[in-house]
Structure 1
Amino acid sequence: MPLLDITRPEIILVLNEAYDKEKRLRSYWVSKHTEKIQKAATLTREPTNYYEEDVMKHTMIAGMATITRDHKVATRNRRKVPLRDAKSIPGIESLRHKHSIINLGAGTAKEDPRLARPNTDLSPDPVMRPVDAKTKKILFKPKPHFGKEKYLHMRAKILPENRYYLPECMSWDYGWRMKDSKTLGKAEYGRNWVLHKTLQDRVGPTTDPAHYRSPMLVTEPRRLVMI
């Protein structure tokens, strides 16, 4: 809604009438509730002459018992010898045994030299597979035909299992390494569900092609013989 032009004479008259009406209503409300306003503004209880510091002091004194109790418990705990983190853990060399990417069969040291590490190296395995050098060069070329957006667009065309060693989020569990599934291939002796495929097709059911029609046979009409 556009703002009103308060310089126009007709707008000024409307505003003056609204201001006068609001002023009359306010005066009427104050005159009607004068007794209630005076009663609410008058102090009817005995004054205590408390200051803000007095209220805070009262709250602090009420909590002193808890502070004393906790201080005694803390004193007893401070007498105990604190536990220190061990500098070495027995068996630390075998933590990566049969749990690395090479042992899981997800990658080889020939494809990624970063995986060729001794068992005593406890640094985490790389998350992403090596990027192709040709694809990586797209990042260092000028826009708009190259750059980060073009690089991400090219990377999105690659299957997730060819970009990462392991699924990095729960949504990747569906469709991860689908090529390894045995149920993707067509059954050798399975039925061909033509009607089912037709109903689920994007364009819906269509007519049969011309070569599906039976040939037309030209024959003479039969004659009925009356006996």
Structure 2
Amino acid sequence: MPILDITNPEIIKFLVESYDKTARLRMKWNNLYGDKLRQAATLQREEKGYCEADVLEAAMRVGMATVTRDTIAGRRYKRLVPIRDGVHITNLSDMKKGHSVVDIGLGDAKTDPRLARPDTDETIDPIMRPVDPQQTAIIYKGIPGYGREAYLRSRNKMSPESKYYFNETTASDYGWRLGDSFLGKSGPKYGRVWRLNRDVKSRTGPYPDPLHYKNPDGGPSLRV
């Protein structure tokens, strides 16, 4: 903003009018609120000489009545017998009924004797399915044809649901009950389904359009 020239008669007239307007507004405010301002600035009540400790003590005395009331009520309620919502309170043994591996049809006590337990047994269900004795024998045979590596390779060829009752790891989610899927373990080698699997499940994601899909003049791609 440029500096005002106070020697200019037009500027002088403008400043005088502004000063007069400001003075009138201040005079009007004082006429409306002057009495309230003087009343608020003057102490009209009687001085009692209270300190901070006196104010805190008064607040505590008011609250002591509620403390006494709550103490009497709490002593009475502690002697009452709690009201149960039901006659029988369920526990772990009740929750297990109908939800075990055998009840939901994932295991059979004939093939896995660990599942043949009474209802009073509150131990958790086994995680792994029983291992085939022929696979277990691979570990105890000599190497290089057998041993630990050969045992792990044979277990790796099995599906996750044939080794565990439930999917215990995140990696098992990708192959869990894959036989029930339309695609199966390996999708079709040709067609739209294979193209979708290759683009979505690859590490780098969908590939861009090849060069022969584009127009010679550098326009947009022909493939949508």
Task: Give the alignment's TM-score, normalised by structure 2.
Answer: 0.41
- Under a length normalisation based on structure 1, what TM-score does the superposition of the two structures give? 0.40
- Larger RCO: Structure 1 or Structure 2 (Cα < 8 Å, ≥ 6 residues apart)? 1
